[in-house]
Amino acid sequence: MVTNAPPFPDTADAPARCYALIPCAGSGSRAGTAQPKQYQRVAGARLIDHTVNALLGVPALAGVGVVVAPDDVAYTSPDARVRVWHVGGATRAHSVFNGLLALQGAGARPQDWVLVHDAARCLLRPAEVEALIDSCIEDPVGGLLAVPVPDTLKKADAGGRAHQTVDRADVWQAQTPQMFRVSTLWSALEAQSAEGFAGITDEASAVERTGLTPRLVRGSVQNFKVTYPEDFALAEAVLQSRRPSTQREDTE
Ligand code: CTP
Ligand code: MG
């Protein structure tokens, strides 16, 4: 069900606009929390609230769509630039695909840009989003924030022993946001829908399968995805470290 929220403002003759789309319909099974991890509180707010606030700090974004599970009533926003769509699917890719349909229903056009960003990446900063937009807005394909892998990489055998070292010279760790034209991402995902989006773990992986090569835009290691139980304390520490010392809180 898509909520009956009004569409984004119609500026049909405007040049390409940018929208953010946040998949927020996962269960957070690796995080070990009682409720989905996006609703855990760190540094005084829920992960999803930190994430949406970072995106609302980007004036170039015309709107922010949040994709939650069909039965999820935990997220609402009073902000006029935010829409909540209850169309989450079984996988992240399915949630993004459904959200992209809702975004188009809300007025996004094929030539507009969509920046897909994980709800669980609550350390994102507006400057990183702006750097991505600046790097991709003239790009024929689009791109994503990523960081070069700093560690030596090992391949494990069935017994959990290292049997090969992988050349990391050209290996990057993909983050989000990932920024593509609505038409590019829609057709890339649509082509994978019959296969149940198998192997599609981010937007770039779907776009790559069409033969296009997304631009890698260097981001920050602080923009990690809260995934495991220990990540909450790390997120808390990073968020607290960004505050003026007078506003720092005790860990909740
Ligand atoms: N997500 C989603 N719909 C799904 C699965 C994931 O919208 N069916 C969202 C999550 O809410 C999260 C983002 O995609 O913001 C990245 O996914 P991930 O970190 O894997 O979150 P979960 O799938 O919730 O966690 P886990 O894989 O540990 O269960
Ligand atoms: Mg997952």
| Spatial contact of 3 and 73, defined as CB atoms under 8 Å apart | no
Please tell me the residue having the least CA distance from ligand 1 atom 23. Answer: 26
Q: Which ligand is nearest to the CA of 197?
A: 1
Mean pLDDT of 12-37: 93
Q: 20: CA distance to ligand 2 center in Å?
A: 19
Q: 14: CA distance to ligand 2 center in Å?
A: 36
Name the band, by pLDDT with cuts 50, 70 and 90, for residue 134.
very high
Name the band, by pLDDT with cuts 50, 70 and 90, for residue 4.
low
Q: 10: CA distance to ligand 1 center in Å?
A: 31
pLDDT given at position 88: 98
Rounded CA-CA distance 208/203 in Å is 9
Rg of the chain (C-alpha set): 18
The residue among 106, 107, 139, 110 whose CA lies nearest residue 217 is: 139
pLDDT digits (tens, 9 = 90+) for 181-205: 999 999 999 999 999 999 999 999 9
Mapped onto helix, strand or coil, the DSSP state of residue 172 is strand
pLDDT given at position 29: 98
Q: 28: CA distance to ligand 2 center in Å?
A: 7
pLDDT given at position 9: 77
**What torsion do the CA atoms of 247, 47, 179, 204 make, to the nearest 10 degrees?**
140
E-strand spans in the chain? Answer: 18-23, 41-42, 45-46, 61-67, 82-85, 113-116, 142-148, 153-156, 162-166, 172-181, 215-218
pLDDT given at position 112: 98
Mean pLDDT of 132-144: 98
Name the band, by pLDDT with cuts 50, 70 and 90, for residue 28.
very high
Phi, psi of 145 (to 5 degrees): -75, 140
- Stated pTM of the model: 0.95
Mapped onto helix, strand or coil, the DSSP state of residue 162 is strand
pLDDT given at position 249: 60
Residues with CB under 6 A from ligand 1: 23-31, 38, 67, 88-92, 95, 118-120, 225, 227
The half-sphere exposure of 75 on its side-chain side, counting CA atoms within 13 A, is 35
> What is the position in ligand 1's atom list of the atom closest to the CA of 90?
8
The residue among 162, 177, 81 whose CA lies nearest residue 125 is: 177
Q: 24: CA distance to ligand 1 center in Å?
A: 7
Q: Which ligand is nearest to the CA of 88?
A: 1
Q: Is the pLDDT of residue 135 over 70?
A: yes
Please tell me the residue having the least CA distance from ligand 1 atom 8. Answer: 91
pLDDT given at position 150: 95
CA distances from 40 to 70, 76, 187 (A): 19, 15, 34
pLDDT digits (tens, 9 = 90+) for 55-105: 999 999 999 999 999 999 999 999 999 999 999 999 999 999 999 999 999
Computed over every residue of the chain, the mean pLDDT equals 95
pLDDT given at position 244: 85
Tell me which of 40, 85, 92 to substitute to probe ligand 1's pocket, judged by most ligand atoms within 8 Å of the beta carbon.
92
